[in-house]
Amino acid sequence: MSEFVNPLSYDPQDWYSIFCRLDHDNDGLIPVEVVRSAVLQNAALLGLLKHEAESILRDVDSNFDTYVDFSEFSAMMAKAKSLYVKRLTIYAARSVLAKSQQPSAVQYLSHYNCFPPPLFMFMISLIQVAIYLYYALESDVGISPVGPVPIKSPFILDPNHKEQIWRFLTYMFIHIGYTHILSNVVVQILLGIPLELVHKLWRVAGVYLLGVVTGSLLVMAIDPNVYLGGASGGVYALLSAHLSNVIINWDEMEFNWVRAIIIMIVVTIDCGSALYQRYFVETFNRVSYVSHIGGFIGGLLLGVVLLRNLKLRRWEVYAWWFCLVAYIMLVSVCTVIIYAPGLYAK
């Protein structure tokens, strides 16, 4: 039976039990050849390629006494875990990049230090699910595909309280039904985490959060008489930021049609749900679909401005300035319409 499993399955304290199984005479030392044989035979179970297994064995006997003690064994296992995580990181990053961008990404990620870790989308999703469950279990509606709508929540964007500016962001924590939150969470996890690996937390967080704000500003400017809940503005910002990269690098993008079709399916389902709630449920429960449009436009512009460009071309410098100016103008116009006296329509 194998002594090893995938290193991600173990915490460092569990490495001692593996060490003991290899230490047949229980003297705290394992011959180098025993360790070498075990690692090479179980490289696949360790999640390592053959050359990676060779690399972690190269320095395992740090004091050259032909034996491996537990500290040396732990150092080897830590390297194995690091290599495995790094390879998964590179595979995930490649899923959101064109072929011409991948060499730069691999070079960048080969020195990836996991700081900050790609936890933004995961933590945001966790908070959103927790808040949805709180309001669902508190209400008479319970967990429903189209409810509840907690219009008294301090988070929801209330058309009667546009002076409470935090609502332009915090509405992303309110979701109208489990179909709404499920579609948003799935997309932002599957797309957001690979984007975080390539572009780091603050860039992806910027696109996502500003997409949320852009969506709410456009709602209050164009469709100001509805309550707004959901993270679709941020999700659509991520989708459009990735979609623009797919379109620009269409010939180089792996599975380009598959990506485009998946994005179309997600957009169709989510927009269909939003349109249904906007026009076919009772007025009390109406929510706006305009935030989807705002998030999508925001993502197209902010993706160019904020996301890390792995292979900068001259025309992209002009595109960067154009997108920055266009985004500032969009936000400014929406803000004027919302708050300027005489322009805001109740």
Place of tokens 């319970």: 142
288: annotated active-site residue: no
In DSSP terms, which residues pair with 31 in a beta bridge?
67
CB 74 within 8 A of CB 35: no
248, two tokens: 């620009």
Question: How do beta strands 67-68 and 30-31 pair?
Answer: antiparallel
Among 293, 271, 277, 275, CA closest to 176: 277
Continuous H helices in 223-313:
232-248, 256-279, 290-306
Which of 125, 216, 232, 240 is catalytic? The answer is 232
153 carries an active-site annotation: no
Half-sphere exposure of 172 (CA within 13 A, CB side): 30
Beta bridge partners, 67, equal: 31
- Backbone φ, ψ for residue 252 (5° rounding): -95, -15
Q: Which of 180, 199, 242, 292 is catalytic?
A: 292
CB-based contact 241:161 (threshold 8 Å): no
Based on its alpha-carbon atoms, the radius of gyration of the chain, rounded to whole angstroms, reads 25
Active site residues: 232, 292
